[in-house]
A and B are shown apart, each in its own frame.
Chain A
Amino acid sequence: MKRFLYYPRLYTLIVSQYIKARMQYRADFFISSIGILLESGAGFFSLWVIFHSISKLVGWSYNELIFIYAFSLLAITPSQLFFDNIWHLSSHIRQGTFIKYYFRPLNMMFYYMSEVFDIKGFTKLALGIAAFIYASFKLGITWTFPKFILLLTLLFSSSLIMISLMIMASSTCFWTGEASSVLIFVFKFGEYSKYPITIFNSFFKLLFTYIIPIGFVAFYPSKFFLRPTETNILAYLSPVAGILLFVLAYLVWKKGVNSWTGTGS
């Protein structure tokens, strides 16, 4: 039992200290929250403006799109809260400071990610929850207990997909020295996940379902709740896709860690 709790206890210890330290920068938290609200709010604003001119987007209504968008926000939040150190990997690699993560008897990914906990992510979470409640209220979705469990499972899988894609993207810097462009590339795909996959032609539909599986981040799982009768078999694969991708991402990370030469001092 004690062994089993080793990592969770360590994580709580490190993160609680980290949050305590970050509390000194209250102004920064406040400004950043405004930034996040604006950034995520811009997406809602765009939808609002666009739906001034049209009533349906490839058969989806305004409120349905709000629902999908909220779902994607909630799915992206965990990657920001728990895996934000991903964004600093390139600079650790270039300055050689990444070396210290080899010296502790810990899982290296755990050690690395535990070092930063982005409290700003809570703002995004709050906005996502608010929009989600608004949309499901407007759409008259009734929430039962099994449905709620399904929602949590799907959100977990979606987060895992997003996290895995981001880990793979940032791991490229073990070989190239700079991953920010790849990260931004993948991060933007996370943002594109708020659109219905059906707007694309068949080639990009395939691409976003199987190769860069952003369809699984928000669109396919949302269909469970929006159009239960139209749900295709693919949506059930969401948790499988999440787990498989995470295993793959972990292997890529591990390969990167082993092949890094530790130069750049």
Chain B
Amino acid sequence: MKKYLMIIRNSFMSSIIYRFHFFFTSLSNVFYIIIIYFLWRAIYKGSGGSINGMTFNQTFIYLALAISIFCLFKTWTDWGMSYQIINGIIVMNLIKPMDIQLLEMCNAIGFVFYNFITVTLPALFIIIFIFQPGVITVSNLMLFLLPMVLAFFISFNIDYIIGLTSFYTESIWGISIAKDTIVLLLSGALIPINFFPEILRKIVGFLPFQAIYHIPLTILISKDMSIYEYLKFLGIQLSWAIALYALNRFYYSRAIKVVTVNGG
């Protein structure tokens, strides 16, 4: 256990070393929130106050938090794994008495802590003190925690699938960009799922992406959610988490042959 904690610590420490980097990562997300604020204010200007059952305030909070979570979960796992494959460092990890997936997850957790300080905290600060949403309550925050952990696990596993795929392809750039776009779009992080046309909304319901953003955020900003509904959401997340994890175990056993058979 201790060695995994060390990995979390190391990945955190190595990312914090560039202080300039630190400030700009924060600033970048703050600007994004400002942009979506003005964009959606403009979109709402022409309407009567509510579009697709969401007020401006709700939409803005939803999107601002969604992008903050996206940045929180941006752990570069897929890029890291591709780098290891290209440079042959993966072999060094294979001979360590550790599970590769767990190793990568520890790295990712270190990043999440870093992201939390650089991106999520400043974003929350701005959202709460400048825009004063008033929809987030303490009890909602408590209920929000467990879905967030599951959301991270799902997000990590999607990254890990892409990382394993990089064992077969030469570079990671293309697949990773495609993944980011698909995740952002189909999870409702760019535009709330409520805005989607009916058919698209149905399709998205069958995909794992909404379990990362849509579910935790709905829990966070909803006013009176029943226990039954909450548990249903958790159930959906849990099923995706298990399914993706199982898929990865199987996929890993195939993908690793690229390294062990072809010698990387």
Contacts and interface: CB of A to CB of B under 8 A. Distances in A.
Q: A and B: real partners?
A: yes
Interface of A: 25, 27-28, 31-36, 38-39, 41-42, 45-46, 49-50, 52-58, 120, 172, 175-178, 180-182, 184-185, 188-189, 192, 195, 199-201, 204
Nearest to A40: B181
A212 to B, nearest CB: 9
A49 B175 contact: no
A153 B159 CA distance: 42
B24 A188 contact: no
B117 to A, nearest CB: 14
Interface string B44-78: 01110001100000000000000000000000000
A163 B173 CA distance: 21
Given A34-B174, A34-B178, 20 more contacts: A27-B169, A27-B170, A31-B178, A35-B181, A36-B177, A38-B178, A42-B190, A45-B185, A52-B195, A175-B20, A176-B19, A177-B18, A178-B20, A180-B21, A181-B22, A184-B28, A185-B24, A185-B31, A188-B28, A192-B35
Contacts of A195: 35, 39
B43 A57 contact: yes
B173 to A, nearest CB: 6
B182 interface: yes
- Sort A-B residue pairs by CB-CB distance and give the 9 closest, nearest first: A32-B174, A35-B177, A31-B174, A176-B20, A35-B174, A181-B24, A199-B42, A178-B18, A35-B178
Contacts of A38: 177-178, 181-182
5 contacts: A32-B177, A33-B174, A42-B185, A46-B191, A54-B43
A33 to B, nearest CB: 7
Interface of B: 18-22, 24-25, 27-28, 31-32, 34-35, 38-39, 41-43, 45-47, 51-52, 169-171, 173-178, 180-182, 184-185, 190-191, 195-197
A35 B39 contact: no
Contacts of A56: 46
B21 A178 contact: yes
B37 to A, nearest CB: 10
A140 B64 CA distance: 37
A187 to B, nearest CB: 10
A42 B38 contact: no
Contact of B46 (A41, A52, A54, A185): A54
A233 B248 CA distance: 58
B171 A53 contact: no
A25 B181 CA distance: 23
A120 B45 CA distance: 38
Nearest to A201: B38
Nearest to A45: B185
Contacts of A120: 173-174
B21 A176 contact: yes
Nearest to A55: B46
Contacts of B28: 181, 184-185, 188
Contacts of B173: 32, 35, 120
Contacts of B20: 172, 175-176, 178, 181-182
